[in-house]
Structure 1
Amino acid sequence: MAENIENNGCSQRDNAEHEGYVKASRSFNRIWKERDSAQPRLLETILYKDNFNRAYKRVKANKGAPGIDGMTIEEALPYLKEHQQEITDRIYRGKYTPSPVRRVEIPKPDGGVRKLGIPTVIDRTLQQAITQQLVPIYEPLFA
């Protein structure tokens, strides 16, 4: 267990643990700084049509319930085909706002409830498109 020590009036963990923290912190900082140079077109990659299509297929395979807008997975495909460019443009301009989540209470065996938030199919598709591009970049840091 790390021991707290006094250092210039500030509590600090022992040196071995502190060095580990500094190393992890440097790794995050390095990745953060290199992120833009390594992936200068990350947003374009996320919103690329093929990535978006793969994301929709993944959401469809998960068979989730409709969000607050009531749109089913099957209804989302024609909507996305018609509105994908509009959604993409709003994201690029910083004007996209995710819809509120639909709140559902799931009964627990002990009598309580588990509160669940269900995003819309469109928002889940966007989340999946982001995940598909960010996980390969950041997962090695946590492996």
Structure 2
Amino acid sequence: MIENVLAATNLYKATRQVERNKGASGIDGMKTTKLSKYILENRSIVLSTIRENRYTPKPILGVTIPKGQGKTRLLGIPTVVDRWLQQAVSQ
């Protein structure tokens, strides 16, 4: 199962989807436009930590967003790399 998630075509599709969705930066401050470059430089490290069961997602950035009638709700924003891996799993 994990090899299907980590297949090159699946990861490529996940990269494109995260870049297309854009979105806010997580706690690491990386923008989605920097994801492809990060993957080129660090892909083997990220994939080996996943295969060795040592990967730990980064903390989530909590942001409050306004809701109706003056209420707010907490929105959790993961890092771009964690979003990339989440997308790869969901595909």
Q: TM-score range by the shorter chain?
A: over 0.9
Structure 2 unmatched runs, 5+: none
Per-residue CA deviation, residues 75-134 of structure 1 (Å, 9 max, x unaligned), is 1210111111110000011100000111000011211111000001100010010111xx
> Where has structure 1 moved over 4 Å in runs of 4 or more?
none
Q: Counterpart of 1:85?
A: 44
What secondary structure, in the 3-state scheme, does the structure 2 residue paired with 1:88 have?
Answer: helix
The answer to whether structure 1 residue 115 and structure 2 residue 63 are counterparts is no
RMSD: 0.8
Percent pairwise identity: 44
Across the two proteins, how many residue pairs are aligned to each other?
A: 91
Alpha-carbon distance, 1:59 to partner: 1.0
The answer to whether structure 1 residue 62 and structure 2 residue 21 are counterparts is yes
Give the structure-1-normalised TM-score: 0.62
What secondary structure, in the 3-state scheme, does the structure 2 residue paired with 1:83 have?
Answer: helix
Per-residue CA deviation, residues 19-55 of structure 1 (Å, 9 max, x unaligned), is xxxxxxxxxxxxxxxxxxxxxxx11110111110100
Give the structure-2-normalised TM-score: 0.96
